[in-house]
């Protein structure tokens, strides 16, 4: 049941989306004559603009703290490639090109709800294509990360042997002890735990992606290049992140104007 507290614009838009699909199908099957769902005026959805990132010093501190962590490779991949969480969890070993040090992104893992006959809800992890063609991309892997990936593969092979009678090998790079893809809440919970242990203000797992973009901005990598690496549809999204995470660059820009104006 919806309450005033959870009638957010996003929830209302999601509900309307499902109702619209159902009613359109009913029209197609001639069960009803017309669907009015598309006529509903929905409140504007305000998307989260939390662009928190790890500072360079905190990033170094974080990397030191995860050296023996079971998700070391996953965290480093997020920091070094900027892949979305769903893209990371969908990676398979054949997506890594060890000859050219690249990773190919062509799918994502998503947790979706399933409605049972009795009305109860269960959730299932599904693998699907990225939402846009821009998300399908090949991203370079820093050479010093290859060692961590290789070590992770060796550790995974040990787990496979240990659980060989029940291991369901689906070739996922980041899998649980039985070969199943990881649910996003697991690495996120571990990420938060690491941050807490080293007294870093909690940020979302997705912020590792923004941290990757920030490091590229700091190295003066062109916006268009960063857009391609991040898999953004256009450079406006990339610039939006830039203006949120690099306030000091705006200050530098104004300082340059001061030099030109000479008032």
The reply to whether 262 falls in a domain is: no
**Claim to verify: residue 35 and residue 126 sit in the same structural domain:** no
DSSP designation for 172: B
Q: Quote the CA–CA distance of 227 and 95 in Å, as a whole number.
A: 21
pTM: 0.74
Residue 148: closest CA among 78, 57, 197: 78
**Claim to verify: residue 92 and residue 189 sit in the same structural domain:** yes
The reply to whether 148 falls in a domain is: yes
Q: How many other C-beta atoms lie within 10 A of the C-beta of residue 57?
A: 9
**Claim to verify: residue 21 and residue 119 sit in the same structural domain:** no
pLDDT at 202: 87
Q: How many other C-beta atoms lie within 10 A of the C-beta of residue 1?
A: 3
The reply to whether 48 falls in a domain is: no
Q: Which of 203, 229, 256 is the last residue of a domain?
A: 203
**Claim to verify: residue 100 and residue 171 sit in the same structural domain:** yes
Q: In the chain, how many domains are there?
A: 2
**Claim to verify: residue 20 and residue 142 sit in the same structural domain:** no
Contact 72, 205 (CB under 8 A): no
List the CATH number of the domain containing 156: 1.10.443.10
Q: Quote the CA–CA distance of 182 and 188 in Å, as a whole number.
A: 11
Q: Quote the CA–CA distance of 250 and 263 in Å, as a whole number.
A: 20
**Claim to verify: residue 24 and residue 64 sit in the same structural domain:** no
Buried b (16+ CB within 10 A) or exposed e, 199-236: ebeebebbbbbbbbbbbbbeeeeeeeebbbbbbbeebe
**Claim to verify: residue 32 and residue 78 sit in the same structural domain:** no
The reply to whether 130 falls in a domain is: yes
Q: Quote the CA–CA distance of 262 and 68 in Å, as a whole number.
A: 55
Q: Which of 171, 188, 203 is the last residue of a domain?
A: 203
Buried b (16+ CB within 10 A) or exposed e, 106-126: ebbbeeeeeeeeeeeeeeebe
**Claim to verify: residue 15 and residue 116 sit in the same structural domain:** no
**Claim to verify: residue 81 and residue 10 sit in the same structural domain:** no
Per-residue pLDDT of the chain (263 residues; tens, 9 = 90+): 444 545 566 567 767 777 877 877 777 788 887 877 767 777 765 444 567 889 999 999 999 999 999 999 999 999 999 999 999 999 999 999 999 999 999 999 988 777 777 777 777 788 888 878 889 999 999 999 999 999 999 999 999 999 989 999 999 999 999 999 998 889 999 999 999 999 998 899 999 999 999 899 888 888 899 999 999 988 887 887 777 766 655 445 445 455 555 54
The reply to whether 236 falls in a domain is: no
Residue 85 burial class via C-beta count within 10 angstroms: exposed 0-12, middle 13-18, buried 19 and up:
buried
pLDDT at 48: 46
Helix/strand/coil for 59? helix
Strand intervals (E) in the chain: 96-97, 102-105, 108-115, 121-128, 137-140
The reply to whether 160 falls in a domain is: yes
Contact 137, 229 (CB under 8 A): yes
The domain of 154 spans: 60-203
**Claim to verify: residue 165 and residue 67 sit in the same structural domain:** yes
**Claim to verify: residue 89 and residue 140 sit in the same structural domain:** yes
**Claim to verify: residue 69 and residue 157 sit in the same structural domain:** yes
The reply to whether 77 falls in a domain is: yes
**Cα dihedral sign for 210, 211, 214, 215?**
negative
């Amino acid at each position: 049941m919806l309450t005033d507290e959870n009638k957010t614009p996003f929830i209302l838009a999601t509900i309307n989306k499902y109702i619209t699909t159902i009613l359109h199908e009913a029209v197609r099957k001639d069960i009803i004559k017309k669907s009015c769902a598309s006529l509903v005026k929905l409140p504007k959805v305000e998307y989260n603009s939390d662009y928190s990132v790890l500072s360079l010093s905190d990033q170094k501190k974080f990397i030191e703290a995860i050296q023996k962590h079971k998700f070391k490779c996953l965290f480093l991949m997020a920091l070094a490639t900027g892949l979305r969480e769903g893209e990371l969890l969908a990676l398979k070993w054949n997506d890594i090109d060890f000859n050219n040090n690249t990773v190919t992104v062509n799918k994502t893992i998503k947790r979706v709800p399933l409605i049972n006959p009795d009305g109860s809800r269960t959730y299932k992890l599904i693998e699907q294509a990225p939402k846009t063609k821009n998300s399908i991309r090949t991203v370079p892997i820093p050479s010093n990360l290859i060692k961590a990936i290789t070590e992770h593969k060796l550790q995974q092979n040990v787990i496979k042997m240990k659980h060989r009678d029940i291991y369901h090998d689906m070739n996922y790079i980041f899998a649980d002890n039985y070969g199943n893809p990881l649910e996003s809440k697991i690495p996120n919970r571990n990420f938060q735990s690491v941050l807490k242990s080293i007294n870093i203000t909690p940020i979302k797992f997705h912020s590792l992606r923004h941290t990757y973009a920030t490091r590229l901005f700091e190295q003066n990598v062109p916006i268009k290049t960063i857009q391609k690496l991040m898999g953004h549809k256009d450079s406006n999204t990339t610039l939006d992140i830039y203006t949120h995470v690099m306030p000091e660059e705006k200050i530098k820009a104004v300082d340059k104007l001061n030099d030109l104006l000479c008032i």
